[in-house]
Amino acid sequence: MANRVARYQADRTNQKLYFCRIYCQLAQEAEQKQLADAHLESAILHLYGAYLAFLQEIACYYQLNLVIPTLTTIADKLAQKTQISPEIEYLTQLSEIDFLAEIEQAWQQVNFKPIPKQIDLPEKEADSKRLLLVNIMPDQSAVNPKLLNAIISVDMVRQWRVHLLGVIEALRAGMVED
């Protein structure tokens, strides 16, 4: 078996993927909807955490000193060193049009609360009373059409996990020392 340089942070990535799997199972087994929702949110957060941990693996593989690596910061640091990363190029493609975009959007939906909007009341009441309207529907211009009207399910998260795991394993296979 090849000696993986990407092994630096692989344990954390694998742990996050494992936690995602556990929370998917707990969400499916939960009898109360609120508990199932909480487990599903945890699964999404761990899945996105696995993606971030894998970015850290890539940064370590290329010996980049980045505290919080992102696709952009890794690409920029590599460009400064006149290097390219096939891993970053592939992940960038997936993050624009494929399941990584869906994972990020799901992460944003569970991580950021909706922004309240002011409602104007008739002039008589406007001075003393203001109501806040919280828009729980995402901004349609910034939403992946596949997730626009979809409720994120355990099966969706499991499918994303399988896809992410497959991508990580394939990219790790190429990140070996000769």
Q: What confidence score (pLDDT) does residue 124 get?
A: 55
Q: What confidence score (pLDDT) does residue 112 get?
A: 79
Burial profile 89-105: b = 16 or more Cβ within 10 angstroms, e = fewer? eebeebbeeebbebbeb
Q: What confidence score (pLDDT) does residue 166 get?
A: 94
CB-CB contact of 44 with 26 (8 Å) = no
- Amino acid (one-letter) located at 106: A
10-residue averages of pLDDT along the chain (178 residues): 53 95 96 93 96 94 90 93 91 89 90 63 52 45 51 92 95 80
Q: What confidence score (pLDDT) does residue 9 get?
A: 72
- For the chain, how big is the Rg over CA atoms in Å? 20
